[in-house]
Amino acid sequence: MRARLNALMAWTGFLCLLFGVIPLAAMAIGYQLEAMQDKPALQTLSCKEIEAPDSEYQSLYRAHEAVEKDGASASSGSMEKYNPQMCRVAGSGTATQWQRGSDHGFIYANLSEEQAYERLGYRTFFHALSRERWVFTAWIAAFWLPVTLLLFLTSGRFRILPWRT
């Protein structure tokens, strides 16, 4: 009977490790890595708003051209030139203007905000996980240490792999 109880505790500890501790550690690391990303600023504008002489894009583009003429283009970031044809055809009259740091560009498609972030390489997988998923995984992980310590106290061995005797 004691051998069966030890086997049950070993398998319970192993499953808690497999489905609780390891996923929770991966989720926590992924969450921190996502938090370190630079989030681009998005702004959806009509083609006419972008083409206006006093628009934000026009002033940024003039400043970027002036810096390039001075020969300091390596440190000033990159700037995508506005394409009015693409805006009218692919964007159906609108374009999403994005800016991340000193980089600037356009997305000529009708995308949701989430799709636009994904196209720019900004990922939010771990931030999008629900609170219930975090709590459920934490509850599974919480049973690992007590079960493993109880197994160690009853059998005198620390077993991670239950099929190893």
Domain residue spans of the chain: 2-35+128-155, 41-119
Q: What is the pLDDT of residue 11?
A: 93
- Picking from 160, 147, 162, 165, the residue whose alpha carbon sits closest to that of residue 11 is 162
Distance CA 145, CA 165 (A): 19
Q: What is the pLDDT of residue 66?
A: 76
Q: Which two tokens stand for residue 76?
A: 């000033």
Q: What is the pLDDT of residue 112?
A: 84
Residues with Cβ within 8 Å of 78's Cβ and at least 6 positions away in sequence, in order, are 102, 103, 104, 105
Q: What is the pLDDT of residue 25?
A: 96
Q: Low-confidence residues of the chain, pLDDT below 50?
A: none
Ranges of H-type helices in 36-130: 47-51, 56-70, 84-89, 113-119
Q: Per 3-state DSSP, what percentage of the chain is helix, strand, and coil (rounded to 5)?
A: 55, 10, 35
Q: What is the pLDDT of residue 32?
A: 92
pTM of the model: 0.66
Distance CA 40, CA 26 (A): 25
Distance CA 115, CA 126 (A): 16
